[in-house]
Amino acid sequence: MTIANAFATGVRIRVVLFLFCLNALLYMSFSVLRDDLRALAAYHLYHSTSNTTSDDLRGNTVASHIIEDIAPSPVASIETPEPEFEGKANATLVFLARNSDLEGVLKSMESLETHFNHRFGYPWIFLNEEEFTEDRVKSKTNASVQFGLIPSRHWYQPDWIDEAKAEEGRNRLKASNVIYADSVSYRNMCRFNSGFFFQHPLLQPYRYYWRIEPDVEYFCQLRYDPFDYLKEHNKTYGFTIALEELPQTITTLWQAVKEFKEQYPEYINPNNALAFLSDNGGDTYNLCHFWSNFEIADMDFWRGEAYTKFFEFLDSRGGFYYERWGDAPIHSIAAALFLDKHQLHFFNDIGYQHANIMHCPQQPDYLTGSCTCNRVLSIDVILVYRGTTERLVLNGDNIRTTSGRS
């Protein structure tokens, strides 16, 4: 598709509307046309390189050649004195990992320490269903580090799951080439992250957490405390990226959610964000979810009555094993239904990458420090050109969805 065609098909109109709604591009450091060209290039790049690497996304290799003339925006570099080294919130950095994840763990730690935690010193907690075999992670931080063993009952497939049916489910997903289709350990992980991590004894003293995964990267210097931010602004759940779930992995999830809503209407917040989840008032799920490999959130919500009932209700359906329910849609659905929508927060200013998807702040206004990501390759920008941004939560204070796709 040529640029001219793209404009002719109305994409640009949608972009303008999107940007208006997002309230994220009120200030343009470059002309609109220039930004559009950049994003179009980013979109084509994203779809023409199936094996896009981290470097590509940062504009260091292929990207910078393809979009040579429309190079990355100059990053904002706001020189501010280092704040005092001390995080005061009741918070921890939570890292579920296997021993085999060590290299990726070290990489993620270094990135978060460099961009945030060396200033704040929040404690790290590593969880694993097996004993950790080494403590090299301690060399990456001055903060405290603890290692926790996950109780078996919180991890392994429960006995009451019909294994024949579960196997059938795994084979079905395998036949459809779904990622992690036949992995039982992945399912254990999704169930653990949905219903149990916040129950771990090491996490009991804490209220807020930042979830970290191996091989993730942070791009912006964070010079404020996001935990404090949540607390001060009465926010409960913070995210950076929202995407659509693979429908084959959650075939019966929404039906179960509807039944839960009917049975427990008292848990549904009157000012909820159902519009983020559904384009038809709750009849069907639009697959939108916050990408839970990044979460900065309040564990009291997961520990509370509504979510506890919700998790138990869903768990009893067996969908973690008969299908492949992910913790991302489950957390997202709960947060969107049980919280006031103003309790959700888009950490737009945290540049972040997991696998080949990256969020990069778009505006200097949003930067609290320098960001090293290439903003035109931010998933937000790319999705604009795919016409699928309608369902993203675009602003921390306003849950916006519009119907239709281009």
Ligand X SMILES: Nc1nc2c(ncn2[C@@H]2O[C@H](COP(=O)(O)OP(=O)(O)O)[C@@H](O)[C@H]2O)c(=O)[nH]1
Enumerate binding residues for ligand X (CB under 6 A).
96-98, 101, 128-129, 185-186, 189, 213-214, 293
Structure tokens of 228?
């404090």
- Minimum distance from CB of 26 to ligand X (Å)? 33
For ligand X, give the closer residue by CB, 101 or 113: 101
Partner touching 98 among ligand X, Mg ion, none, CB below 5 to 8 Å by kind? ligand X
Stretch that binds Mg ion, among 22-30, 62-70, 84-92, 210-218 (CB under 5 A): 210-218
Instruction: Choose the contact partner of 379 out of Mg ion, ligand X, none; CB within 5 to 8 A by kind.
Output: none
Cα–Cα distance, 22 to 381 (Å, whole number):
11
Minimum Å gap between C-beta 329 and Mg ion is 16
Phi-psi region of 151 (alpha: psi -120 to 50; beta: other; left: phi over 0): beta
Stretch of residues binding Mg ion (CB under 5 A), selected from 51-59, 213-221, 263-271, 310-318 = 213-221
Asked if 98 touches Mg ion (CB under 5 A), the answer is no
Interface with Mg ion (CB under 5 A), residue total: 2
- Binding-site partner at residue 189 among ligand X, Mg ion, none, CB < 5 to 8 Å by type: ligand X
276-305 footprint of Mg ion as x/- string (CB under 5 A): -----------------x------------
Segment interacting with Mg ion, rule: CB under 5 A, options 114-122, 150-158, 195-203, 207-215: 207-215
**Partner in contact with 172, chosen from ligand X, Mg ion, none, beta carbon below 5 to 8 Å by kind:** none
Which of ligand X, Mg ion, none binds 343 (CB below 5-8 Å, type-dependent)?
none
Assigned token pair, 211: 């979830």
Q: Encode 161-226 in three state secondary structure.
A: CCHHHHHHHHHHHHHCCCCCCCCHHHHHHHHHHHHCHHHCHHHCCCCEEEEECCCCEECECCCCCH
> Which lies closer to ligand X via its Cβ, residue 110 or residue 213?
213
Residue of the chain from 110, 213, 228, 244 that contacts Mg ion (CB under 5 A): 213
CA distance 185 to 188: 5
Residue nearest to ligand X (CB): 185
Looking at the Cβ atoms of 78 and 355, the one nearer to ligand X is 355
Which strands sit side by side in the sheet containing 124-128, from one edge to the other?
Answer: 145-149, 124-128, 91-96, 208-212, 295-298, 237-239, 344-346
Name the token pair of 151.
Answer: 């109780």
Burial class (CB in 10 A: 0-12, 13-18, 19+), 65: exposed
- DSSP labels, 129-143: SS-----GGGGG-SS
**How far apart are CB 185 and ligand X at their closest, in Å?**
4
Residue 355 Cβ, how far from ligand X at the closest point, in Å?
6
CA distances, 48 to each of 43, 51, 53, 56 (Å): 9, 9, 12, 12
Q: How far is the CB of 186 from Mg ion (least distance, A)?
A: 10
Q: What is the DSSP letter of 76?
A: P
* 36 vs 323 by CB, closer to ligand X: 323
Q: Which is nearer to Mg ion, 214 or 238 (CB)?
A: 214
Backbone torsions φ then ψ of 386, nearest 5 degrees: -90, -10
Helix axes 11-22, 379-386, angle to 10 degrees: 140
- Rounded CA-CA distance 170/178 in Å is 10
105: tokens are 């763990």
H/E element holding 296?
strand 295-298
Least distance between ligand X and beta carbon 18 (Å):
27
Active-site position among 113, 295, 323, 390: 295
- Looking at the Cβ atoms of 97 and 384, the one nearer to ligand X is 97
Nearer to Mg ion, 110 or 213 (CB): 213
Question: Cβ of residue 104: shortest distance to ligand X, in angstroms?
Answer: 7
The pair of structure tokens assigned to 179 is: 């990622």
Catalytic residue flag (residue 295)? yes
Residue 370 class from Cβ within 10 Å (0-12 exposed, 13-18 middle, 19+ buried)? middle
Looking at beta carbons only, is 70 or 216 nearer to Mg ion? Answer: 216
Q: What is the nearest approach in angstroms of ligand X to the Cβ of residue 354? A: 6
Residues that bind Mg ion (CB under 5 A): 213, 293
Q: Give me the active site residues, please.
A: 295
